[in-house]
Amino acid sequence: MESIKKIVEKEIKAVHKNSKCSKCGKFPIEGNRYICMQCLTFQLCESCENKYGKQHGHLLLKLRRADDFDKFKNYIFKPKALEKLNIMEENEEETSIDIYKCKSTCTNLKEVYTTLNNNNFIPIDLFLRNNGDEQWPSPCFFTCNEEKSQIKGERVKITKFSGLSGEQYKIKIKINLKNIKKTGTYISVWQLKNENGEAFGEEFIFNVNDIFEKKTKEKEREKKTEVKDYRDELENTVNEIKQKYDILFTTASIRNALIRTKGHKENAIKILFTEQKKNN
């Protein structure tokens, strides 16, 4: 037999009319009712608050009695929020979305995205498709998981999309590259979330290979090689003219003439003879 305490608890358990748990779907909520003070349309029964309250992360208002909502609603909640919180039983089945049944896939995800320049960001065009049995919530957001990502980006709001199974949606994201200092491959992890910040569908990992530093070093090496080749060629031409006109011109005058003509031997010789005539 049940203890007297349990029987009394059952009898005095509050029943919160027109309320439905956002996690388990219990309707109406019995016992303690918890309403999120930040995203207002999110509420939990006592059992789900024990499981998901901390995970949700926002401040939850605890309503012990059935009439607590009516007593305090005008002091705490905005009029538009009240309409959403007072969910009517006949409409709930049509509007409720189980985000744990929502799925997604990216039809054009590459293994690696390569950028050859040290830009501030890399733009990526995506095609997201609903491959689950449940309609996506509207609106929803494609969001970077900053805790798992080495490089980040701003979330993208998905609107004007029915979110039905099989449908595809095109979006463009920008992954930030400002803080990259070394050449390498960096990951950015993204996932869809509803307006309450709850993630659904699979995670998408973008591998971005930034080789701007390597390219810069290669250019520096090319420049050094070009300068060295130019100097070697210049000295060879100086020696060539010196051997032919050793008596007439000094090494310094030949080198200066070649520099003025950008290494052109015939033009340099013309300059040398012209200047010699002027001096004579």
Q: Are residues 118 and 201 in the same domain?
A: yes
Q: Do 141 and 191 contact (CB within 8 A), yes or no?
A: no
Total domain count, the chain: 3
Sheet of 60-63, strands arranged across: 43-44, 33-36, 60-63
Q: Are residues 242 and 262 in the same domain?
A: yes
The amino acid at 103:
K
Phi/psi of residue 69, nearest 5 degrees: -65, -45
Domain boundary, last residue among 36, 65, 96: 96
Q: Are residues 203 and 115 in the same domain?
A: yes
The amino acid at 98:
D
Tokens representing residue 130 in the block:
């609903």
Q: Are residues 201 and 259 in the same domain?
A: no
Low-confidence ranges of the chain (pLDDT < 70): 1-12, 39-40, 72-97, 117-118, 160-165, 213-219, 280
Which residues pair with residue 210 across a beta bridge?
A: 115, 184
Q: Are residues 124 and 205 in the same domain?
A: yes
Give buried/exposed letters for 157-181 (b at 16+ CB in 10 A, else e). Answer: ebeebebeeeeebeeebebbbeebe
Domain boundary, last residue among 38, 64, 96: 96
Q: Are residues 125 and 190 in the same domain?
A: yes
* Tens-digit pLDDT profile for residues 37-66: 776 678 889 998 988 888 777 788 888 888
Number of H helices, E strands in the chain: 8, 13
Q: Are residues 169 and 188 in the same domain?
A: yes
Range of the domain at 131: 105-210
Cα–Cα–Cα angle for 143, 146, 152, nearest 5°? 75
Q: Are residues 48 and 90 in the same domain?
A: yes
Which residues pair with residue 43 across a beta bridge?
A: 35
* Tens-digit pLDDT profile for residues 201-234: 889 999 999 887 665 666 677 777 877 888 888 8
Tally of CB atoms within 10 A around 260? 12
- Between helix 251-260 and helix 212-244 the angle, nearest 10°, is 130
Domain boundary, last residue among 180, 210, 240: 210
Q: Are residues 135 and 38 in the same domain?
A: no
Q: Are residues 88 and 139 in the same domain?
A: no
Q: Are residues 111 and 197 in the same domain?
A: yes
Q: Are residues 203 and 220 in the same domain?
A: no
Tokens representing residue 173 in the block:
């994201």
Query: Residue 90: what pLDDT?
Result: 39
